[in-house]
Amino acid sequence: MLELTDLCKYFPVQGGILRRKVGEVRAVDGVDLRVAKGEILGLVGESGSGKSTLGYTIVGIYDPTRGSITFKGSDLVARRRHDQRAVSKEVQIVFQDPGSSLNPKRTIKQTLELPLKIHRVGASRKERLAILKELMRTVELPEPYLYRSPSALSGGQRQRVAVARSLASRPDFLVLDEPTSALDVSVQAKLTRLLLSLREELDLTYVFITHDLSLMRNVATSVAIMYLGKTCEIAEAEPFFAQPLHPYTQMLLSSIPVVSEEEEKHKPKQVIPSGEIPSPVNIPSGCSFRTRCPSVMDICSVQDPVFREVLPGHHVRCHLYGLEVGAE
Amino acid sequence: MSAKRVFEIRDLQVGFRMFRGNLEVLDRASLFVDPGEKVGLVGETGCGKSITMKATIGILPIPPAYIAGGGIYVDGHNILELRGRELRHVRGLMSLIPQDPGASLNPVFRVGTQLQDAIRYSTAGRGLGRRQLRRKAISILSEVGLPDPERNLANYPIQLSGGMKQRVLIAMALVTNPLLLIADEPTTALDVTIEAQILRLMRAAVDRRNLSILIITHNLGVVREFTDRVYIMYAGQVSEQAPTRTLFEGPLHPYTKGLIESVPKLTGEGIAAGIPGMVPDYMEVSPGCRFAPRCSHAMEVCTEKPVMRMQGTARGVACYLYEAMTEREGTCSS
């Protein structure tokens, strides 16, 4: 359904009084990714990994610096230039913080009605109101909430409104940018269940951006790990969690504080995390993870490992898997 | 009564006077920390855990807040009754590790200046000269694992990453030689790999100095890995307390059970149903168990406040389902 090929998004770093470009931040750097229909791809990384930038580039908030986005067989970037509206009808996003993504001065009804008007869903006011009521039912909110302002709703309810807004144009593809990370766990569970049932009901495909691997264990059909703008491991969820290959993935998984003894057994052997993510302005040479990697080798600083299929469907970017140097 | 306890909150009642009426937030909350203990206070947004912390270190905005009753005892002294020099002395026995490392350091002063100020104005820094202050600052920074401490003293906070700022703040908390550390969501703003490092650092520092620590958080995983004993708070009431291991192996209170179930697990058993309903508005809380409106076991008697029923000194639950707990031994396994 969605295919990214060598997708890059660089931001210029300006300096001096002439605001000349003195460098660039490689927020997304050569990402190849495939999302099949009905999938939930968990896009996981720490802050600064470029996961949100990648999501924003997919929905068209940013134009890619290089590379292509193919959506349902056609070039999304070119289509967007031609007819932005048609594309945004099909590809929508839910933002992280419902506190700031909803306009506090508008009632929920006004917020939800805007996408209907823009995408010309519903001919008359009456018809639109019927659709709005249906939308509220879909996200399990009481109808009278249509006339409230966001400040009168709780965090979880606001996020439901944000989900309803992105569903208003009846898209079939959603980018979810940390939709539950601003919520308490008991509320997070309820919203996540809603998102899962919506996918079934409305035949949706998700790219689920998050930093929470435990959540992805229960939600994703496949997982992509990002580090400093690059994907370091992509696989279907089952093999991914059964046998995480990249040292960074292992470090992430073993760092998660869990709530039961049973879960400890599902962690890879203890990898003691060290160091912090380097600045994306100044990415290490070779493999960008080498400064924190417990299994670093000489070659890692010289050569960036190739992203290769190590096991069927299991892609890893690491010199540990494929020591045939230069056999690119 | 509590001579040996480093810290104890007894029946603390805190409310807020608002235009529309009084919000009674903390409803006779009690907890204690023994010497050398690592204790967790867990709850969701708005449960009163931060208010407990603010009342303790004396930064509760009074008014609109008011303390209606109870006591906060630090090393046996009730700080609510102390004033002036005595209050300052007792407060000096506590240090806070704040939540948001980005907002907790002053952006216009160098790290070294802020750290040396913290030393200078504490009992630990009395009579130290400039060189000694600097030496003490460097040694504490290397203890918390900040790379290149001498250079970092001259840096501004903006030049440090989030994890490094948190290390500086931990250094500031430790350097005054407190009896008790209060850590308010110390790792919430950090990535998991950094969180793991900071928790390890905090554990090492606390154990080495035999400090007591109260860690306030919403993250059950952090509590399980870090603490010896836990308090669960819901809507201003302490609903359950237990040694950490006991709590996670057999939670008693329906709220605790719902909370632990809600956490997504690495075992991949799917997403739990969560807890039905919503956190109550403090304007309209029931005088009884505040969890009752969301509780699937709610009974008539729940309109009266359940007392904390203890089994031993550490295990307790405030719920009518466990009426018989103190009478009969071993009714613990629900």
Q: Where are the domains of chain B?
A: 7-93+178-325, 108-177
* Strand-pair partners of A92: A174
- The Cα diameter of chain B in Å comes to 68
- The Cα diameter of chain A in Å comes to 69
User: Token pair of A159, please?
Assistant: 């996020």
Give the pLDDT confidence of A193-203 residue by residue, as tens digits.
Answer: 999 999 999 99
**Number of Cβ pairs closer than 8 Å across A and B?**
125
- Nearest residue, CB atoms, B273 vs list A193, A260, A292: A193
B217 alpha carbon, distance to own chain's centre: 7
Indicate which CATH number applies to the domain containing A14. Answer: 3.40.50.300
Q: Is B248 on the interface with A (CB under 8 A)?
A: yes
- Nearest residue, CB atoms, A258 vs list B161, B197, B221: B221
Per-residue pLDDT at B326: 57
- Nearest residue, CB atoms, A46 vs list B164, B191, B221: B191
Distance from CA of B77 to the nearest CA of A (A): 35
The sign one gets for the Cα dihedral B307, B311, B312, B314 is negative
Q: Is the pTM of this model over 0.90?
A: no
Query: Does A271 fall in a domain?
Result: yes
Amino acid at residue number A137: R
Chain B residues with CB under 8 Å of A185 CB are 44, 218, 220, 259, 262-263, 274
Q: How far is Cα B292 from Cα B303, in angstroms, rounded to an integer?
A: 8
Class of domain B7-93+178-325: alpha beta
Distance from CA of B317 to the nearest CA of A (A): 20
Q: Report the DSSP pairing between strands B212-217 and B38-42.
A: parallel
Edge-first strand listing for the sheet containing B65-74: B21-33, B7-18, B65-74, B77-78
Helix/strand number for chain A, H first, E second: 12, 12
Query: Of B123 and B275, which is predicted with more confidence?
Result: B275
Per-residue pLDDT at B325: 65
Q: How far is the CA of A312 from the CAs of A220, A268, B278, in angstroms? A: 18, 21, 45
Residue of A nearest to B164 (CA): A276
Q: Is B281 on the interface with A (CB under 8 A)?
A: no
Q: Tell me which H or E stretch contains A168.
A: none
Q: Do B259 and A46 touch (CB under 8 A)?
A: no
Chain B residues with CB under 8 Å of A192 CB are 264, 271
Q: Do B275 and A186 touch (CB under 8 A)?
A: yes
Q: How far is Cα A2 from Cα A157, in angstroms, rounded to an integer?
A: 30
A299 has a pLDDT exceeding 60 = yes
Contact B112, B146 (CB under 8 A): no
Contact A62, A9 (CB under 8 A): yes
- Nearest residue, CB atoms, A257 vs list B225, B259, B269: B225
Q: Is B169 on the interface with A (CB under 8 A)?
A: no
Per-residue pLDDT at B333: 38
What proportions of chain A, in percent to the nearest 5, are helix, strand and coil?
35, 25, 40
Provide residues of A within 8 Å CB-CB of chain B.
46-47, 154-156, 184-190, 192-193, 196, 211-215, 217-219, 241, 251-253, 255-263, 266-267, 272-274, 276-277, 292
Q: Band of the pLDDT at B1, cuts 50, 70, 90?
A: very low
Q: Band of the pLDDT at B218, cuts 50, 70, 90?
A: very high
Domain limits at A251? Answer: 2-317
Distance from CA of A74 to the nearest CA of B (A): 35
Q: Do A257 and B194 touch (CB under 8 A)?
A: no
Distance from CA of A290 to the nearest CA of B (A): 15
Edge-first strand listing for the sheet containing A314-317: A91-94, A173-177, A205-210, A40-44, A222-227, A230-236, A314-317, A307-311
Contact A33, A223 (CB under 8 A): no
Chain B residues with CB under 8 Å of A154 CB are 278-279
Report chain B's terminal Cα–Cα distance, integer Å: 33
Average pLDDT estimate for B253-260:
94
Give the pLDDT confidence of B55-89 residue by residue, as tens digits.
Answer: 988 888 888 888 888 899 998 889 888 888 888 88
The ipTM, to two decimals, is 0.84
Q: Do A184 and B45 touch (CB under 8 A)?
A: yes
Q: How far is Cα B227 from Cα B215, in angstroms, rounded to an integer?
A: 8
Query: Does A322 fall in a domain?
Result: no
Q: Do A190 and B273 touch (CB under 8 A)?
A: yes
Distance from CA of A86 to the nearest CA of B (A): 34
* Strand-pair partners of B181: B95, B213
Contact A70, A36 (CB under 8 A): no
Q: Do B193 and A189 touch (CB under 8 A)?
A: no
Q: Report the DSSP pairing between strands A173-177 and A205-210.
A: parallel
Length of chain A: 328
Q: Tell me which H or E stretch contains A257.
A: none
Per-residue pLDDT at B327: 44
Query: Does A259 fall in a domain?
Result: yes
* Strand-pair partners of A227: A230
Query: Does A328 fall in a domain?
Result: no
Residue of B166, B193, B199, B246 to mutate, interface with A, max A Cβ within 10 Å? B193
Query: Does A153 fall in a domain?
Result: yes
Distance from CA of B159 to the nearest CA of A (A): 11
Give the pLDDT confidence of A110-164 residue by residue, as tens digits.
Answer: 999 999 999 988 888 999 999 999 999 999 999 999 999 999 898 889 999 999 9
Query: Does A36 fall in a domain?
Result: yes
Q: How far is Cα B44 from Cα B234, in angstroms, rounded to an integer?
A: 7
Give the pLDDT confidence of B166-187 residue by residue, as tens digits.
Answer: 999 999 999 888 999 999 999 8
Contact A13, A25 (CB under 8 A): yes
Quick one: three-class SS letters along chain B? CCCCCCEEEEEEEEEEEECCEEEEEEEEEEEEECCCCEEEEECCCCCCHHHHHHHHHCCCCCCCEEEEEEEEEECCEEHHHCCHHHHHHHHCCEEEECCCHHHHCCCCCCHHHHHHHHHHCCHHHCCCCHHHHHHHHHHHHHHCCCCCHHHHHCCCHHHCCHHHHHHHHHHHHHHCCCCEEEEECCCCCCCHHHHHHHHHHHHHHHHHHCCEEEEEECCHHHHHHHCCEEEEEECCEEEEEEEHHHHHHCCCCHHHHHHHHHCCCCCCCCCCCCCCCCCCCHHHCCCCCCCHHHCCCCCHHHHCCCCCEEECCCEEECCHHHHHHCCCCCCCCC
Query: Does A107 fall in a domain?
Result: yes
Residue of A nearest to B222 (CA): A257
Residue of A46, A47, A185 to mutate, interface with B, max B Cβ within 10 Å? A185
Number of domains chain A contains: 1
